[in-house]
Amino acid sequence: MADRGRRALDRRTFLKGAGAALGGAALAGCSSPAARPAGGEGRRRRPNIVYILADDLGYHELGCYGQEKIRTPNIDRLRARGMKFTDHYAGSPVCAPSRCTLLTGKHTGHAWIRNNGLVRKEGQAPIPSREPTVAEVLKEAGYATACIGKWGLGYPGSEGDPLNQGFDRFFGFNCQTLAHNHYPRFLRRNREKVFLEGNDGGPSGKQYAPDLFRDEALEFIRENKDRPFFLYYATTLPHLALQVPEDSLKEYLGKWPDPPYEGGRGYFPCKHPRATYAAMVTRMDSHVGEITALLERLGLAGDTVIFFASDNGATFGRVGGSDSFFFESNAPLRGFKASVYEGGIRVPMIAVWPGKIRPGTVTHLPSAFWDVMPTLAEIAGVDAPGGIDGISFLPTLLGRPAAQERHEYLLWDYPGRGGQVAVRMGRWKGVKRGLKKNPGAPLELYDLEVDVGEARDVAASHPEIARKIGKIMVQGRTRAPLKRSRFWKYGGG
């Protein structure tokens, strides 16, 4: 694993060193190739970075990944303009730990947050202040930084508050549990509550939170068009509850048999659940289109790297009125959200960088959320912190596969749903389940090259590979640092 033998730097030491390195790079004329945008020869501006994260979007829910029932024309155009990843993985099968790996560059065998959970009435367990985030790395490099949408990594005012983790600006849901209603009574602007007129916390209202996130993102881009910016756009679509404005819903009404959902498990009833879900995905797609269109109008498209991914696999079967079976949301993968089978962790990923990433390309490089930190740092022309698990995939983006360093393995440690661990090592995937009741649970082994649906356990046929993966499952994990507090309970996401 990258940087495995390096001593992790103290957060303050790292940031001080990053600032010094930035000064040196500036004096040298930003000579790093990664620091040069795809623009005019004389320009020295670092490229803007827009990272768009969908919420519970399945591997097979975009047209460019095979979806046939739901329209996603804007994201499909992004794919045509850039690179599609076939073997990209979320950091975890659930929300908070997945986002923690994305921001810190550590997989869940080492990351601080490994499960969802409320530790306050409004907010999840915080990322510790000593953990450098990608936002801090980029802020030290001179970027304006914003997190818009869903956070879930520290209650307001905590050390994990986005304003304490490198973001200049925050607007959205601090608490991911509150994000289960797209018509909330309030959102957070930085640390202040912004009450939304016309919303009473019910199943409908006047102000649709995902639309407000789009508006905020567009404003942030306009305000920072003359300087490098990092926009972490963490939309809440298409996560439950099933809610969408009527103008989007009408596109899908009557397309399929659509029995109503009566509500339950904390989610609102929905008269047209399948049409509503499809409309939520398409509305998210329209927001992506508006962001990319603004970049083009402002003349920033050539100076901007855009990433699009999802935080984990599609939601469980028919929970909350969703119907992942009907839309084949994770096809051809096994499992859903909260499972370390491929359907819970393999996600769509698209990268676009005009003049740098060749349009219409595909990569089968196994990569994961913890690779994003070093990749964005290298794009910005600065160093990532030591002690992380990620490997920059910039060589792959730039069409230099021979220069790409590869992981020995990818690892997921998820204590939910009875305790699960998974390791991908090349073509092989090992899974252990039910570890809370049975720490010695048998290892399942799958050959993803011929069995991406994980239907045939071949552990008995390949005992040496199974033993090697079993050792990695032990040696690649540290004890989970987060103790249960008296406030601890499932925190959505």
Angle of helix 273-297 relative to helix 73-81, nearest 10 degrees?
A: 50
In this structure, the answer to whether residues 326 and 449 fall within a common structural domain is: no
Domain boundary among 385, 407, 429: 407
In this structure, the answer to whether residues 354 and 463 fall within a common structural domain is: no
466 assigned to some structural domain: yes
Q: Which residues contact 281 (CB under 8 A, 6 or more apart)?
A: 57, 61, 70, 72, 237, 238
Q: How confident is the model at residue 317 (pLDDT cuts 50, 70, 90)?
A: confident
Q: How confident is the model at residue 43 (pLDDT cuts 50, 70, 90)?
A: very low
Q: What is the CATH number of the domain that holds 428?
A: 3.30.1120.10
What is the average per-residue pLDDT within 174-188? 97
pLDDT tens readout for residues 134-155: 999 999 999 999 999 999 999 9
| pLDDT number for residue 44 | 62
Q: What is the CATH number of the domain that holds 101?
A: 3.40.720.10
Cis omega (within 30 of 0) for bond into 238: yes
Cβ count near 157 (within 10 Å)? 14
Q: How confident is the model at residue 45 (pLDDT cuts 50, 70, 90)?
A: confident
In this structure, the answer to whether residues 196 and 232 fall within a common structural domain is: yes
In this structure, the answer to whether residues 68 and 201 fall within a common structural domain is: yes
Q: Would you call 230 helix, strand, or coil by DSSP?
A: strand
Report whether pLDDT(7) > 70. no
Q: How confident is the model at residue 10 (pLDDT cuts 50, 70, 90)?
A: very low
In this structure, the answer to whether residues 428 and 371 fall within a common structural domain is: no
Q: How confident is the model at residue 319 (pLDDT cuts 50, 70, 90)?
A: confident
In this structure, the answer to whether residues 95 and 237 fall within a common structural domain is: yes
353 assigned to some structural domain: yes
In this structure, the answer to whether residues 157 and 233 fall within a common structural domain is: yes
The single-letter code of the amino acid at 145 is T
Report whether pLDDT(33) > 90. no
The single-letter code of the amino acid at 230 is F
Report whether pLDDT(63) > 90. yes
The DSSP call for residue 383 is P
pLDDT tens readout for residues 281-294: 999 999 999 999 99
| pLDDT number for residue 138 | 98
User: Token pair of 393, please?
Assistant: 């995939």
Assign 3-state DSSP to the chain and report helix, strand, coil percentages, each to 5: 30, 15, 55
Within 13 Å of residue 489, how many CA atoms lie on the same side as its CB?
A: 5
pLDDT tens readout for residues 219-236: 999 999 999 999 999 999
Number of domains in the chain: 2
pLDDT tens readout for residues 339-394: 999 999 999 999 999 999 999 999 999 999 999 999 999 999 999 999 999 999 99
Helix (H) or strand (E) holding 246: helix 246-249
Main-chain dihedrals φ then ψ at residue 181, nearest 5 degrees = -125, 120
24 assigned to some structural domain: no
The whole domain housing 461 covers: 418-475
Main-chain dihedrals φ then ψ at residue 9, nearest 5 degrees = -80, 145
In this structure, the answer to whether residues 395 and 437 fall within a common structural domain is: no
Q: Would you call 385 helix, strand, or coil by DSSP?
A: coil
| pLDDT number for residue 287 | 99
Report whether pLDDT(277) > 60. yes
In this structure, the answer to whether residues 287 and 224 fall within a common structural domain is: yes
What is the average per-residue pLDDT within 262-275? 93
292 assigned to some structural domain: yes
Q: What is the pTM of this model?
A: 0.91
Main-chain dihedrals φ then ψ at residue 282, nearest 5 degrees = -65, -35
Instruction: Please report, for residues 93, 337, 444, 445, 468, the alpha-carbon distance to residue 429 in angstroms, rounded to integers and kept in the order given.
Output: 15, 18, 8, 6, 11
Report whether pLDDT(465) > 60. yes
102 assigned to some structural domain: yes
Domain boundary among 354, 377, 407: 407
The DSSP bridge pattern shows strands 428-433 and 444-447 to be antiparallel
pLDDT tens readout for residues 112-133: 999 998 899 899 999 999 999 9
Ordered alpha helix ranges (H), 61-119: 73-81, 95-104
In this structure, the answer to whether residues 205 and 305 fall within a common structural domain is: yes
In this structure, the answer to whether residues 181 and 322 fall within a common structural domain is: yes
Cβ count near 24 (within 10 Å)? 9
Domain boundary among 382, 407, 432: 407
The DSSP call for residue 402 is G
446 assigned to some structural domain: yes
Helix (H) or strand (E) holding 84: strand 83-85
Within 13 Å of residue 232, how many CA atoms lie on the same side as its CB?
A: 29
399 assigned to some structural domain: yes
In this structure, the answer to whether residues 301 and 366 fall within a common structural domain is: yes
| pLDDT number for residue 266 | 84
How many whole angstroms separate alpha carbon 284 and alpha carbon 218?
A: 14
Report whether pLDDT(31) > 80. no
* Alpha carbon 381 to its chain's center: 22
72 assigned to some structural domain: yes
Is the Cβ–Cβ distance between 365 and 87 less than 8 Å? yes
**From edge to edge, which strands make up the β-sheet containing 420-425?**
410-414, 420-425, 428-433, 444-447
